[in-house]
Amino acid sequence: MPVLEANGLIKRYGQTDIIKGISLSVEAGETIAFIGPSGAGKSTLLRLLDLLELPSGGTIALQGTRVGRKNSERLEFRRRMSFVHQKPLVFSSSVFDNVAQPLKWRGFKKEDLHERVGKALALVGMEHYSSRAAKTLSGGETQRIAIARSLVTDPEILFLDEPTANLDPPSTARVEELITKIIKTQNLTVVMATHDLAQGQRLAGRIGVLMNGELMQLAKSDEIFLAP
Ligand code: ADP
Ligand code: ADP
């Protein structure tokens, strides 16, 4: 059974359909990357699949259960997913508190935070940064902290929106290396957006090509053909 299924998804802003009836299914444990030029609808599609945005039409199902339109129900489903933004929001507090925040929102007790946060920081190689002020981190470090924060809740699905778009080549390489490690070692499904086909091919098993709000191709990474 697919972990995530979209059927005829539409997103309309004003009179314009930004996502024009997209259907797809994501298998448990796979990594799928949506590629396409700026404005193609990658972010919007990710935000729909992550239940951050309510679709104007169509449905989403998680493990075969259709997600309703009530906020309370959507929040319940959202708790099984994490989203890493292109420019992650960092709070003016320590790295530890930033990574612990989603656990606090979920009502974890203080004494239960340390082990989980420690594990997440170790996974991204940032265990020695725990007491640093998060605002003092570099772009690459910030992205790694954002990834730790997204993994601390043990999500079933991890969404990554252009995870390296704002990084220099060395930081990009490190973040890609980290994503590869997460895919190999964590028991989760990854759905990402990138404007870089080569990056999609390095990281993902399947690639979806978005153009102007439509899914033009969805195929294995090595079978994607782009007209020059
Ligand atoms: P991508 O991530 O591929 O660059 P986006 O999903 O960010 O594409 O945007 C797709 C299109 O939707 C763009 O033309 C953008 O201007 C438009 N768009 C995105 N969000 C909104 C919004 N909140 N209101 C109106 N238009 C939007
Ligand atoms: P993610 O976006 O990583 O899936 P969340 O769903 O926990 O994580 O949070 C999304 C955003 O919604 C956060 O960046 C935060 O601004 C806000 N948020 C989530 N839950 C709460 C909450 N209980 N109280 C206040 N803000 C929240």
pTM score of the predicted model: 0.90
CB-CB neighbours of 146 under 10 Å? 26
DSSP label at residue 133: B
**Interface predicted TM-score of the whole assembly (ipTM), two decimals:** 0.69
Does 18 sit in the ligand 1 pocket, CB within 6 Å? Answer: yes
pLDDT tens for the 228 residues of the chain, in order: 899 999 999 999 999 999 999 999 999 999 999 999 999 999 999 999 999 999 999 999 999 999 999 999 999 999 999 999 998 888 889 999 999 999 999 999 988 999 999 999 999 999 999 999 999 999 999 999 999 999 999 999 999 999 999 899 999 999 999 999 999 999 899 999 999 999 999 999 999 999 999 999 999 999 998 776
| Closest residue CA from atom 9 of ligand 2 | 102
| Closest residue CA from atom 21 of ligand 2 | 105
From 10, 34, 43, mutation site for ligand 1 pocket: most ligand atoms within 8 A of C-beta? 43
Distance CA 20, CA 1 (A): 25
From 18, 160, 162, mutation site for ligand 1 pocket: most ligand atoms within 8 A of C-beta? 18
Does 80 sit in the ligand 2 pocket, CB within 6 Å? Answer: no
Which atom of ligand 2 is found nearest the CA of 101? 7
3-class SS at 178? Answer: helix
